[in-house]
Structure 1
């Protein structure tokens, strides 16, 4: 019996080690579900596309705090494929102008072998939220392409909401909250068409109606549209979309750190909110552990 127990413990420790970066402790305070996008391109107006993915600092900064605090990240996305980093995020400007910090973040993220082959959201949805301490969704434009209408993610977020477990989402990531709408894909189509009557009707039954949310602002998006970065115009603005669904948008000044906490939901406005956002998540986890 002792031999069997020792064998099972070895297997468990090996499984934990496989999803942690080299040098990390195998002792864990709990699992954090890290939801990524599978999208590599964002559809823009006039048939244009922008090559996108996750934003490096929006993933690396909170992830490092979580791991250093003893939490184990479990990555998942719609297709179970390797998420793509937005090349524009590999920039020292998102790390206080410090290129060494940028390089360190890049190396840190690369150590997670489990990020190369995440779980599917469908498999996570079938498990429920009981095995996780929190869910974390980094930004980049990619969530605007797939996460906002992913039915499995909708189920996952509803489970975390019902359990009042920390739900932390930054930058464009909060658009994923729309996945909990009864007909998320139709809501997206109505948004793109500018059909206000339909968006109002389709917003009924939204899980996060009335929640205070911070998200990448239209005023910020307009500054990166066109030649500045995207090469075109987005199909809709995240703050406008969430407001149409029933959220109370609480954004701050453009490109300044801004984090909003409402019940279990923690949202950060844009990349420069990364540190404050991560600290807010850690505070929520600490409060939950008491």
Structure 2
């Protein structure tokens, strides 16, 4: 006999080919529409030099192991990455993608808006770089104040994989802060800021007096109840 969750489509979907789960049909219907609300906007003061860049610290791990041992197919959330970058690029700031290993960017593909022509076109435009990103340890050697205006960490549960423990990520953030540039982090992306605490005393944490808007653990816990996640976050 099927459970109530199975009947209403609230059970995470298991994929034996990757031994991992993706969100339930019900949760995808609620939280992953096939078209976004993106509207192209004109920026009268957009930079036209073609030189301004945004460093995108991306995820190269695609599997998150939950507390119960179940595997979740994760990565960067495509909407939370691409819509931000679409606006930034329209304003004259071009993305440069980097991962910890230099391996291709992993995505929560199940969240891709498959009927959104603008997002599809943007991804296609940058596909070569998404497949061949820089290694973070190498790109931080090439940062210069005349080109890089911001560092961006998108959302997606994958943001907790590797980035918070990385000294290279810490170095990247430190460079942008030292040079009075912008830090942009959304949803799960703020987890990467934990890297700034590596080898530091609590009183020396550079963001200790700042407030932060991010997805709370309670949000992920609710995700378990509706089948978005197969188990609690580690």
Q: TM-score range by the shorter chain?
A: 0.7 to 0.9
**CA separation of 1:207 and 1:127: change in aligned 2, threshold 3 A:** farther
8 Å contact from structure 2 (residues 98, 135) kept in 1:
yes
Q: 1:217: which partner in 2?
A: 216
RMSD: 2.2
Q: 1:152: which partner in 2?
A: 168
1:81 aligned to 99, 103, 122, which one?
103
Q: 2:133: which partner in 1?
A: 118
**CA separation of 1:111 and 1:128: change in aligned 2, threshold 3 A:** closer
Moved over 3 A (4+): none
The gaps in structure 1 that reach 5 residues or longer are 1-24, 92-98, 185-201, 236-290
| Cα distance in 2 for residues equivalent to 1:35 and 1:45 | 26
Q: 1:34: which partner in 2?
A: 56
2:75 aligned to 53, 56, 62, which one?
53
Q: Which structure has more helix as a fraction of its residues?
A: 1
8 Å contact from structure 1 (residues 40, 53) kept in 2:
yes
8 Å contact from structure 2 (residues 220, 229) kept in 1:
no
The gaps in structure 2 that reach 5 residues or longer are 1-46
2:123 aligned to 104, 109, 122, which one?
109
1:161-180 correspondence runs (5 A): 161-180=177-196
8 Å contact from structure 2 (residues 156, 189) kept in 1:
yes
| Cα distance in 2 for residues equivalent to 1:227 and 1:68 | 36
8 Å contact from structure 1 (residues 54, 139) kept in 2:
yes
8 Å contact from structure 1 (residues 58, 139) kept in 2:
yes
Give a deviation string over 1:55-103, Cα, whole Å, max 9, x none: 1111111111122222221111101111121023124xxxxxxx643x4
Deviation at 1:163, TM superposition (A): 1.6
SS in 2 for 1:73: strand
| Cα distance in 2 for residues equivalent to 1:169 and 1:44 | 23
8 Å contact from structure 2 (residues 167, 198) kept in 1:
no
1:62 aligned to 69, 73, 84, which one?
84
Deviation at 1:219, TM superposition (A): 2.4
* TM-score under structure 1 length normalisation: 0.59
| Cα distance in 2 for residues equivalent to 1:224 and 1:129 | 40
Give a deviation string over 1:241-270, Cα, whole Å, max 9, x none: xxxxxxxxxxxxxxxxxxxxxxxxxxxxxx
Deviation at 1:139, TM superposition (A): 0.9
| Cα distance in 1 for residues equivalent to 2:58 and 2:216 | 21
Are residues 1:206 and 2:222 paired? no
**CA separation of 1:230 and 1:134: change in aligned 2, threshold 3 A:** same
